[in-house]
Structure 1
Amino acid sequence: MIPKVGQIVKVLRGRDPGEYAVVIGIVDERFVWLADGVHRKFDQPKKKNLNHLQIQETISSEVESSIRETGRVTNGKLRFAITKFVELMQDEAQEKGE
């Protein structure tokens, strides 16, 4: 499955396993550019192999539209998208636990 720009992914292998990031560019069918706005800024994204990622269903519309319209996105928007996603996951986990 090839991810889309703005899609949230979970890093499985590498220096930051378990961390979430946002796809900000697609290289080809095997590699994507990732940034999280904290460790990996938009200006210095990480090139990652898709085999080392777990693609989530969530696509951040704010990030997607910003990149589509201007070709860039702020690091704050990346942080916000990841934080919102993590909070949503925690809320769903709590609902299942109750």
Structure 2
Amino acid sequence: MNEPDSSPSIGQFVLITQGREEGQYAVVIKILDERFVLLADGEKRKFHSPKKKNINHLEFFDCLSPEVQSSIVETGRVTNGKLRFALTKFVNEQVADLKKGEHLNG
């Protein structure tokens, strides 16, 4: 599943693979420890009420949002609009490409 040496980064995009929000995309906004992160999507999960998730229940993408990351690093927070914008852009560009690749192979 996840390699233990690959640690999550703030601003990294994830797919929730287990739980009530399974199949939804989110952004890592805080790393609590080696097992748990806080996620937000700017819509259902706002920045001020993030979801605590076990990293074993997430699929991490090799892609992160520099806007979200720099905002959190500089100010300690990020707007929900910025989260929504980054996620929409990621899903439209990256996920569409992944799905195209699946159709070509399968």
The residue type paired with residue 37 of structure 1 is G
> What aligned pairs does 1:79-98 form with structure 2 within 5 A after superposition?
79-88=84-93, 89-91=95-97, 93-94=99-100, 97=103
Instruction: Give distance in 2, aligned partners of 1:20 and 1:63.
Output: 15
Aligned Cα RMSD in Å? 1.5
Q: Deviations over 1:36-87 (max 9, x none)?
A: 0011000000110001000111110000000011000000111111111111
State the shift of 1:92 in Å. Answer: 5.1
Q: Give the TM-score of the pair, scaled to structure 2.
A: 0.86
TM-score, length-scaled by structure 1: 0.93
- Residue 43 of structure 2 aligns with which residue? 38
Q: Distance in 2 between matches of 1:96 and 1:17?
A: 20
Mapped partners of 1:67, 1:57: distance in 2: 19
Deviation, 1:2, is 1.3
1:17-56 → structure 2 map (5 Å cutoff): 17-56=22-61
Work out whether 1:58 is the aligned partner of 2:63: yes
Quote the sequence identity (%). Answer: 58
Unaligned runs of 5+ in 2: 1-5
Q: Secondary structure at the match of 1:42?
A: coil
CA distance in 1, matches of 2:89, 2:62: 14
* Residues matched between the structures, number: 98
> Following superposition, which runs of at least 4 residues in structure 1 exceed 4 angstroms of deviation?
95-98
